Structure 1
Amino acid sequence: MNETHLTAKQQLLLWVLLTRGGGALQKDIAAFVDAKDRRALEKLGYVGTSKQKRANFIELTDRGWRDLGEIEPRLFLEGEPRISADRRMLQFVLASLGGFARRNSYTLHDIFAPAKSEPVPVAPAGEPSGGAIEQQIREAFFAIAGRPAQDDVRLSALRARLKHIDRKDLDAALIAMREKRAAILTNLDNPRDIEAEGDAALKSGIHVFHLLWIDQ
């Protein structure tokens, strides 16, 4: 990646996507998305945009993941006035993290990408297989959200409806659905809502998910 042809705002969008596990709904990162910058990054092959949940879903491409790890973060221009302390701190942290990754032969994908689900073993007779669990997740989601779905479903509500499924198996199926883009997992922002979810959250790598969405 030739960092000189990226503006500070374009770099910031790439780093925001990286901290979201490589992709996010545009509405969830609207403060960092400028349509002109997004199209420029698409043209350069660093991001792709698709329709999910009736909205734009922006994600890093393989090239974006690879090249972003080779540059020094520049989230603002030298001499630019009124740079917030948090943006300066973010640039320092990302630069240090990138240096650590390169020195230890890690990639940013190793650090930020959600953990891959383990292969689902063949279930003994009488126990649901991975595919059967995914189907039960879909049925439970639409039973709660309606069809067409009106809103995200909290994982606490999903777990309550599927309490007969072992938590480890349910989490593995949810992550597998996310990887196949058969479902979207997102997080809550309100501390009270997060507290209300208790231990229902799904943890994958550095990410914590509270909500499930399935298009159809």
Structure 2
Amino acid sequence: MSETPTSKQALILWCLLGRSGSALQSVIVPKIERADREALITAHLLEAHKQGRSLRLTVTDKGWNWAGAHLRDPLPPSLRVLQDWLELLHAHLEANAATLAEFIGPMRAEPKSVPASKAKVPAKSRSKDPPNSKAARKPKSASGPAPARIRERIEAAYLALTGGERATAVRLSALRAHLADVERETLDAGLAAILRGDPNARLSQFSDPKSLDAVEREAAYAPAGEPFHILWIQS
């Protein structure tokens, strides 16, 4: 294909970017035709990796750059609503000197539903600390470490676990144990950034899910219920 995707191929990219840049092909609507997928891969706008019985499609850095520069490209009349929203997004990013990646942010896991029977917590069990205790008054941290710092911590832990070797599989269970001082939410944000399109790192799954024990399942990073158990850093 040329460097310019067709309107149908552009729609595939917008669908994926709406899911933070990565999703299983089976969940994307409308259905993705093989010819369009392969054309995007050939143009280096998209990557595809086998995941279970489906393919995980991930927008590349080049794909993100293309999208950020083509928010106002014309779309078919049937997609006028999407085009109007993309033009509004372009104006917002331009006014705030922001990028599309900054606006979309890292991939987030879907919230788990809470059974109605457990939704309400008795008042007495909500906190064991008196209202005026130090624990009750202690403010929560406004923000965690910067994304770049988390990426550095992840890579340092990876190299420590591999003895300085790269392109070697490291289980997330081992990574979490090594970074026990990092809150799970913070570490997951770093893993989300890698999954979104880190050129030097990637997440993968065990080829045989039956080999997973409880420890590996607990340590998995599972955005939208799709678990990853292994980290690779190439360079």
TM over 0.5: yes
The structure-2 alpha-carbon separation of the partners of 1:212 and 1:175, relative to structure 1 and needing over 3 Å to count, comes to farther
Report the counterpart of residue 32 of structure 2 in structure 1: 33
The structure-2 alpha-carbon separation of the partners of 1:56 and 1:65, relative to structure 1 and needing over 3 Å to count, comes to same
Report the counterpart of residue 127 of structure 1 in structure 2: none
Bigger radius of gyration, 1 or 2? 2
Tell me the TM-score normalized by structure 1.
Answer: 0.55
The structure-2 alpha-carbon separation of the partners of 1:138 and 1:29, relative to structure 1 and needing over 3 Å to count, comes to farther
Shift of 1:172: 2.2
Distance in 2 of aligned mates of 1:47 and 1:121: 26
Distance in 1 of aligned mates of 2:30 and 2:36: 13
The answer on whether the counterparts of 2:173 and 2:229 sit within 8 Å (CA) in structure 1 is no
Q: Which runs of 5+ in 1 are unaligned?
A: 78-82, 123-129, 140-164, 185-207
The structure-2 alpha-carbon separation of the partners of 1:12 and 1:106, relative to structure 1 and needing over 3 Å to count, comes to same
Report the counterpart of residue 146 of structure 1 in structure 2: none
Q: Deviations over 1:7-58 (max 9, x none)?
A: 2211111111111111111112152422111111112221111223453111
The code of the aligned residue for 1:174 comes to: D
Matched, 1:181 2:199: no
The answer on whether the counterparts of 2:40 and 2:46 sit within 8 Å (CA) in structure 1 is yes
The code of the aligned residue for 1:182 comes to: L
Distance in 2 of aligned mates of 1:74 and 1:24: 25
Q: Deviations over 1:140-168 (max 9, x none)?
A: xxxxxxxxxxxxxxxxxxxxxxxxx89x7
Report the counterpart of residue 169 of structure 1 in structure 2: 183
The code of the aligned residue for 1:135 comes to: S
RMSD, aligned α-carbons: 3.7
Runs of 4+ in 1 over 3 A off after TM superposition: 115-118, 130-134, 136-139, 175-178
Report the counterpart of residue 12 of structure 1 in structure 2: 11
Report the counterpart of residue 76 of structure 1 in structure 2: 76
Which residue, out of 137, 143, 150, partners 1:119? 150
* Structure 2 counterparts to residues 124-203 of structure 1, below 5 A: 134-135=172-173, 169-178=183-192, 179=194, 180-182=201-203
